[in-house]
Amino acid sequence: MLARVPTAVVQGVDGHPVTVEVHVSRGLPGYTLVGLPDASCRESRDRVRAAILSSGASWPQQRITINLAPTGIRKQGAGLDLPIALGILLASGQIPGDSMDRCGAVGELGLDGSVRKVVGLVSLADAVAADEILVPAEGIRQAAVVRPGSVRGVENLRDVIAALTGAGEVPSLVDQPVRVPEEESVQADLADVRGQPLARFALELAAAGGHHLLMVGPPGSGKTMLAARLVGLLPDLGADDAIASTRVQSAAGLALPPGGLISRPAFRAPHQSASSVAMIGGGTAAMRPGEISCAHGGVLFLDEMGEFPVPVLDALRQPLEEGVIRVSRAARAVTLPARFLLVAAMNPCPCGEGGSDGLCRCTDAARARYSRRLSGPLLDRFDIRISVRPPTPEVLLGGDEEESSVSVARRVAAARRVAADRGVRCNAELSDGDLDTYGRLAPEAQSVLRHVLEQGSLTGRGLRRVRILARTIADLAEPSNPPDVLSAEVVHSALALRAMPTHVLGVPPRVSTSIEEGAV
């Protein structure tokens, strides 16, 4: 007898529909699994057999042939256990032949028949070609994010058999979960940061306009502390971004909130030892997302950026421009979402004191080697590049109370609403055509930019980013009535924020021209 059960496998962050075809016929007892299964699929025989016997059903003493169609896609993961078990029970006549006509299944089986959650359940549930789908009970809210009203949660195979044979209750359908606030630990508040007016303004600009930020300063100046508070300034994710972020983190095997849907931007801070595969994705048959995809819709923080391997840093250039990463291998290629806000922190030189006159202990050769780890094209993609210096003892030990994250987040939200009226999430997504409409330059501002371009200190990409940054500065200054034309003063501020601290490029500290506090 032949049976078919719809299911799916995941590659990257996308699910691909798969049909489990089971044929049980007379002959010597045997078990054959075909259709490009990986090791975890081939090992399903013993798991499925033990689960069926533990659930009170019998293992057919016949020849069992299982085909995972289509055969051109490599199948991986233990999520095929449940559909294989149901296909065997259908083909052997232990459950009615029409009981799975409109239903698919995804789930791993334990030896006791329990149904366990699998990695990538959100994408798997979305890809199953069936009106309804059986999923592990512990992942039911996640599956309902993309399949509202068509998901049934099951805890063990015994309950499934009872429901399909009419001996037990059919699991109820689950509607789309209510979007609930995620459980958060103690929130890092910007009020904890003493002093640093320029860095605080840079954080606000980065959050409001989606501008990539590079902070350069000696150890202990507060770079990591500032970066950790950026995500608290960002607004909640929109509906599309929330689902995309949920799909990515589900495919990566990361924990999801109880409601199933991620509502807050992610904050990812990989260690300097992260490999290229860990950063961009791939590495397995499933082509799992890397750190840059896990940060989709949120913040990717690279602490001590100068210590990351050069190939890892250069791999960021394409996703920073396009918002996706294309991972190609010999057998397959996937496109993973990677639209993130990049924040990087680094010391000015190997010893860390390059920004302080007379304190740097590095040789010119050591500074040159350090600077070569950062390519010019990568540095050109940072809209804001500032020098962060340690606050004075008077500021650290006292002073006025600083502005909180809640207050700054209100201004960020107002600037984001202005960008939404232009048809984008934030100003960083403005196209060249949008800039001609919303980023027009006053004659004095054009003269300033023309002079900088003639000096060769600004590239074409840099010109575009300066205009976008100036647009964000103007929006924050007057969110209720943003000016249509960008003034020379606003363009000057954008150029100052983009000025690269020269000691990062291997220039001795005495000729540093980094931005002073209060320059903007």
pLDDT of 508 > 60? The answer is no
Q: What is the mean pLDDT of the chain?
A: 88
What are the residues whose beta carbons fall under 8 Å from the beta carbon of 80, sequence distance 6 or more?
7, 9, 18, 20, 37, 41, 44, 68
Q: Reduced to 3 states, what is the DSSP secondary structure of residue 338?
A: coil
Burial 390-428 (b: 16+ CB within 10 A, else e): bbeeeeeeeeeebeebeebbebbbebbebbeebebbbbb
Q: Is the pLDDT of residue 225 over 90?
A: yes
pLDDT band at 10 (very low <50, low <70, confident <90, very high): very high
- What pLDDT, on a 0 to 100 scale, did the predictor assign at position 455? 87
pLDDT of the residue at 516: 38
Q: What is the pLDDT of residue 250?
A: 93
- Joined together, the tokens standing for residue 477 give 């200054």
Which pLDDT score is estimated for 357? Answer: 60
Query: 449-453 long-range contacts, Cβ below 8 Å, gap at least 24?
Result: 449/491, 452/495
pLDDT in tens, 239-277: 899 999 999 999 998 988 888 889 999 999 999 999 999
Q: What is the pLDDT of residues 175-222, one digit of tens each?
A: 765 555 555 445 688 988 888 899 999 999 999 999 999 999 888 888
d(CA 390, CA 163): 66
At 333 the pLDDT is 85
pLDDT greater than 60 at residue 466: yes
Out of 11-20, 60-69, 173-182, 242-251, pick the least confident. Answer: 173-182
Residue with tokens 């195979």: 157
**pLDDT tens per residue across span 281-297:** 987 777 889 999 999 99
| Backbone conformation region of residue 107, classed left if phi is above 0, alpha if psi is from -120 to 50, else beta | left
The pLDDT of residue 502 is above 80:
no
Measure Cα distances from 172 to 137, 168, 175 in Å. Answer: 11, 12, 10
CB atoms within 10 A of CB 385: 22
Per residue in 229-241, pLDDT (tens digit) is: 999 999 999 989 9
Confidence of residue 174 (pLDDT cuts 50, 70, 90): confident
What pLDDT does 348 receive?
84
Provide DSSP, 366-405.
HHHHHHTTS-HHHHTT-SEEEE--PPPHHHHHS-SPPPPH
Q: Identify the pLDDT of residue 480.
A: 85
pLDDT tens-place string over residues 355-409? 556 577 888 888 878 877 888 889 889 999 998 988 888 888 876 788 899 999 9
pLDDT band at 512 (very low <50, low <70, confident <90, very high): very low
Q: Please tell me whether the peptide bond between 6 and the residue prior to it is cis, using omega within 30 degrees of 0.
A: no
| Mean predicted confidence (pLDDT) in 84-95 | 94
**What confidence score (pLDDT) does residue 176 get?**
62
DSSP structure class, residue 175? P
- Partners of 21 in the β-ladder: 4, 67
- Over 50: is that where the pLDDT of 517 sits? no
Alpha-carbon separation of residue 418 from 224, 234, 237, 361 (angstroms): 29, 15, 16, 48
Mean pLDDT for the stretch of residues 63-74: 92
CA nearest neighbour of 313 among 86, 304, 322? 304
- Give the chain's domains with CATH numbers: 2-174 (3.30.230.10), 195-395+406-511 (3.40.50.300)
pLDDT of the residue at 286: 75
Q: Render pLDDT for 23-41 as a digit per residue (tens, 0 to 9).
A: 999 888 999 999 999 888 8
- pLDDT by residue (tens digit) across 294-333? 999 999 999 999 889 999 999 999 999 999 999 888 778 8
Which pLDDT belongs to residue 171? 85
CA nearest to 336, candidates 292, 385, 390? 292
Confidence of residue 6 (pLDDT cuts 50, 70, 90): very high
What one-character-per-residue DSSP string does 414-483 give? HHHHHHHHTTSSSGGG--HHHHHHH-EE-HHHHHHHHHHHHHT-S-HHHHHHHHHHHHHHHHHH-SSS--
SS (H, E, C) 202-261: HHHHHHHHCCCEEEECCCCCCHHHHHHCCHHHCCCCCHHHHHHHHHHHHHCCCCCCCCCC
Calpha distance 412→493 (Å, rounded): 18
Residue 419: strand pairing partners: none
User: What is the pLDDT at residue 501?
Assistant: 61
Q: Which of 477, 501, 480 minimizes the C-alpha distance to 209?
A: 477
Contact 119, 253 (CB under 8 A): yes
Bridge-based pairing state of the strands 30-34 and 108-109: unpaired
What is the pLDDT, as a whole number, of residue 494? 93
| Torsion (CA) 450, 455, 456, 458 in degrees, nearest 10 | -50
Beta bridge partners of 103: 132
Report how far apart the first and last C-alpha atoms of the chain are (Å, whole number). 77
| pLDDT tens for each residue of 405-459 | 999 999 999 999 999 999 999 999 999 899 989 989 999 999 999 999 988 888 8
